[in-house]
Structure 1
Amino acid sequence: MYVWPETVAVCDGRLTLGGCDLVALTEQHGTPLYVFDEVTLRSAMRTYRAAFAEVYPAQHRVHYASKALLNTALAQIVAEEGLGLDVVSATELRVAQRAGVPMEHVHLHGNAKSAFELERALAWDVGAIVVDNLDELAHLCALTAHRPQPQGVLLRLAPDIAAQTHAHIATGSSDAKFGLPLAALDAAVAQILTAPGLHLLGLHAHIGSQLFRLDQLQATLQVLVEAAVHVRDQYGHIVTELSPGGGLGVPYTTEQPPTDICGYATTLAATLTEACTRANFPLPRLTIEPGRSIIARAGVALYRIIGRKYAPDGRLLYLHVDGGMADNLRPALYGARYSALLANRAAEPADTVVAVAGRYCESGDILLREIALPSGAPGDIVAVATAGAYTLSMASTYNLVPRPAVLLLAGGSARLIQRRETEEELLARDIAL
């Protein structure tokens, strides 16, 4: 059951989470509905902090990667648990401020930051802006030319490491859209060191998401240390922060291994310590940026079966549900697979292999392909595990369908942290002729 949240249980044949009956929640709040287990969420955050505190002998910082999922309540939990926050837009930055996340613990990322986003980050004194290319750097130099207190920056490098993951979420190769090529490091460093309004804090890389091979992350850290040594030897400047990004993989089915946060921390800490020792380089602050491995397992998506489709020979082919690619694009975009069961019949044998099809007008809108479930019928509730990451954060209003509500569950209580979108909100942007 390690693909499900920590508090999941079956009571009288019905799925419960955080002490709450999920079927009853769908009756109260409607479907589709996303529910998050607060215990699982906080446990992952605490495990990250404790693991790095135990194995890394210098300063470290855990930043939650908000692109995996962000709302105000989640950002509040991030702050309560002592994590920092990585944001990639002005609105994500606004959510961080609204939730009370200390701005010095916020990093602004992105390969195409707008002038407005940079100006807001500067005005709000974020801890660091992660510079992605030389054009952005030139713009930032101009914006900070008369800034009394230099803005801290990290340089994002493309370490030319091809991560073993889906091509759409591999970001570390030399021709990826993200990061400065290693050959541009000298030009970027020289520009920063002559800019009065900027201070080079450190170096950053992120080679991809859903990674299970730690040797690729070890290689990334080695590249960063070599780059830091080059900056020291060539420019006399010692960077004080290195970040290999995030990307630790999580299991979506039991064919994949459980997430090992402690093993990940041990490997990264040992790799960085050894590399710095060999290079006679002072241990920097180690900043990591987990997103999926914090939020994915905590989330469960709930859908109601609306109808069925049978083959001419009588075989059940599809269960049609009331959500799909507009709230979870990953199956259509990446061919992602999930684990699922029927929440109202959770103790019954999964004796029927079917596809669960979304409601949207695309043939590719198949949430679950060849999934074993009890023979479903209209009204049954499909519960999809590990649905917390890169689902609602990439949600759309395709076919003008409002986006789902979100609940936070703990101790038998369900708190609404994001209400269901309404038709009025969808139409508010329209201006009639």
Structure 2
Amino acid sequence: MTDPRTADANAIDARVFPSTARRGSQCGQLKLGDLRATELTEQFGSPLYVVDEDAARARAREIREALQAEAARIGTAATVYYASKAFLCVEVARWMVDEGLAIDVASGGELAVALAAGVDPAVIGFHGNNKSVAEIERAVSVGVGTIIIDSEIETGRIAAAARAAGRRQRVRLRVNSGVHASTHDFLATSHEDQKFGQPLSEAPRLVAAILAEDSLEFVGLHCHIGSQIFATDGFRESARRLLGVYPALAELAGAPIPELNLGGGFGIAYTSAQAEEAPDVAVIARELADIVAETSAEVGVPIPKLAFEPGRSVIGQSGITLYTVGTTKSVRLAGSDAAADPADLGASERLYVSVDGGMSDNARPALYGADYQVRIANRVSEAAPALVRVVGKHCESGDIVVQRDFLPGDVQPGDTLAVAATGAYCWSLASNYNYVPRPAVVAVRSGEARLIVRGQTEDELVAQSVTGDETTLQNGATK
């Protein structure tokens, strides 16, 4: 592994940054989609989310083609849903559909965005552990292709909505395979003691209840073992366990179960160090196809149609966030103290670099201890690398954007910083903590930039406050 202290602190690692990211040959500025970073911040402001449309489309296509090719190799088909919770807006939904992906939503709001994008409801899957009756009724009425049943209560609710609409609604049952993904505890979603899904052992009973509803069409099981997973062992074991109950379910249904949804969760590299371990989607696709074919033969069922739900792995590395440096200050470290973090590589000082955003536009470091890679975007420098921590402007000591990286030691106020791989779960998790407006999102492609999500202004945030001038009703509501 390359020691970051001796590596080029100006280098743009193509395994972490979007595929079109590069340094300009004349000024050394970071360019994305043939546009300089400073051009973007001058036009759209800072902080700024930037998404490389070509990179996003290419990655969506790569993942879909790999999964579908391997499914075809074993004699079946595969549907690839884009897990829109990673990042959704009207434009991104259109990109995904253009590239042959279906859309996975997990709320009425996400459904509304997908419909506004013109997505055919038939290619939408609707998730969620607490879908309201109103959300279910809307999903059924607009013709959502598949609704994922997360709890026993939902079976009756979806059946009633389908009867009222005169439809037969396709449904999957979400189960927990008991496979513990090698990821952060908050990202592991298939262990037994958590809010999603039902125990796999309960599947026969719950499927029998679904089959008893004339307004429901049971098409298969769904399982999502977690997110940001690098090892493929968990995916393979989960597929094996799920298919193990298909003979019993087929007996209940009187026919083979037609589909199996194996979820998503494929990890990506957020740093150069992670890039050496990040999974190859072609390898994942091949190994999953093999285990599905082998297990189907072992248990004596036809190979089902497959479905997958990648999100982060589609959009994550297509995005960067641009910030402007406000202040810097050097802090002495423990040095040889036993409590010193070995990841700091024995540095005696850390340079704190404060930027104009923070945990309001990227909550992942605070939530999951996630780390990112950062580069100066407005110039290159021959200064020696310095250990840095990029922090935000919020009133929290945990307001960290980049836990540790090495930047040229002359990083200074006014510099533009680019943080890589922020396309997933940054805008989606953004907040207005300390009344900081959420940044805009800009798409770049072939030398052109266009706004795809408007940023907020302070005036808009202030306008949300209810003033004493408004009439108050007796029940506390206003008019």
Q: TM-score range by the shorter chain?
A: over 0.9
1:235 positional shift: 4.1
Normalised by the size of structure 1, how large is the TM-score?
0.96
Pairing of 1:61-76 with structure 2 (within 5 A): 61-76=79-94
1:184 positional shift: 2.0
8 Å Cα contact 1:9/1:17 also seen in 2: yes
C-alpha separation in 2, matches of 1:4 and 1:289: 23
Distance 1:421 1:51, change over 3 A: same
Distance 1:190 1:315, change over 3 A: closer
Distance 1:424 1:123, change over 3 A: farther
1:426 positional shift: 1.9
Determine the structure 1 residue equivalent to 2:29.
Answer: 14
Determine the structure 1 residue equivalent to 2:388.
Answer: 354
Instruction: Report sequence identity in percent.
Output: 42
SS in structure 2 of the partner of residue 164 of structure 1: coil
Residues 107-143 of structure 1 show CA distances to partners (whole Å, capped at 9, x for unaligned) of 0001111112111111111110000111222322333
Distance 1:128 1:349, change over 3 A: farther
Determine the structure 2 residue equivalent to 1:164.
Answer: 182
The answer to whether 1:401 aligns with 2:414 is: no
1:416 positional shift: 1.0
Deviates more, 1:365-374 or 1:385-394: 365-374
Query: One-letter code of the match for 1:395?
Result: A
Determine the structure 1 residue equivalent to 2:167.
Answer: 149
SS in structure 2 of the partner of residue 144 of structure 1: helix
Equivalent of 1:422, from 446, 457, 472? 457
8 Å Cα contact 2:79/2:308 also seen in 1: yes
Deviates more, 1:138-147 or 1:24-33: 138-147
The answer to whether 1:188 aligns with 2:201 is: no
8 Å Cα contact 1:318/1:355 also seen in 2: yes
Pairing of 1:220-239 with structure 2 (within 5 A): 220-239=238-257
1:244 positional shift: 0.9
Query: One-letter code of the match for 1:339?
Result: Q
C-alpha separation in 1, matches of 2:331 and 2:292: 57
C-alpha separation in 2, matches of 1:396 and 1:26: 21
RMSD: 1.7
Query: One-letter code of the match for 1:96?
Result: A
Determine the structure 1 residue equivalent to 2:407.
Answer: 373
Query: One-letter code of the match for 1:392?
Result: W
8 Å Cα contact 2:140/2:165 also seen in 1: no
C-alpha separation in 1, matches of 2:78 and 2:445: 29
1:147 positional shift: 4.2
Deviates more, 1:259-268 or 1:10-19: 259-268
SS in structure 2 of the partner of residue 395 of structure 1: coil
Distance 1:55 1:186, change over 3 A: closer
8 Å Cα contact 1:32/1:303 also seen in 2: yes
1:194 positional shift: 1.1
The answer to whether 1:52 aligns with 2:87 is: no
Larger Rg: 2
C-alpha separation in 1, matches of 2:332 and 2:404: 18
Distance 1:229 1:203, change over 3 A: same
1:369 positional shift: 2.0
SS in structure 1 of the partner of residue 58 of structure 2: helix
SS in structure 1 of the partner of residue 262 of structure 2: strand
C-alpha separation in 1, matches of 2:436 and 2:54: 31
Deviates more, 1:364-373 or 1:229-238: 229-238
Name structure 1 gaps, 5 residues minimum. Answer: none
C-alpha separation in 2, matches of 1:329 and 1:304: 18
Query: One-letter code of the match for 1:3?
Result: V
Query: One-letter code of the match for 2:142?
Result: W
Determine the structure 2 residue equivalent to 1:241.
Answer: 259
Determine the structure 1 residue equivalent to 2:329.
Answer: 309
Determine the structure 2 residue equivalent to 1:96.
Answer: 114
Query: One-letter code of the match for 2:444?
Result: L
Name structure 2 gaps, 5 residues minimum. Answer: 1-12, 334-347, 469-479
Determine the structure 1 residue equivalent to 2:308.
Answer: 288
Query: How many residue pairs get matched?
Result: 433
Distance 1:142 1:26, change over 3 A: same
C-alpha separation in 2, matches of 1:27 and 1:135: 52
Equivalent of 2:155, from 137, 161, 170? 137
Determine the structure 1 residue equivalent to 2:356.
Answer: 322
Determine the structure 1 residue equivalent to 2:367.
Answer: 333
Deviates more, 1:385-394 or 1:306-315: 306-315
Deviates more, 1:11-20 or 1:46-55: 46-55
8 Å Cα contact 1:203/1:243 also seen in 2: yes
C-alpha separation in 2, matches of 1:397 and 1:87: 23
Deviates more, 1:53-62 or 1:108-117: 53-62
C-alpha separation in 2, matches of 1:161 and 1:279: 20
SS in structure 2 of the partner of residue 275 of structure 1: helix
1:49 positional shift: 2.0
The answer to whether 1:5 aligns with 2:57 is: no
Deviates more, 1:132-141 or 1:153-162: 132-141
Residues 307-342 of structure 1 show CA distances to partners (whole Å, capped at 9, x for unaligned) of 123348995631110000011000111110111110
1:220 positional shift: 1.0
Distance 1:217 1:312, change over 3 A: closer
C-alpha separation in 2, matches of 1:349 and 1:334: 32
Equivalent of 1:214, from 228, 232, 239? 232
Deviates more, 1:47-56 or 1:188-197: 47-56
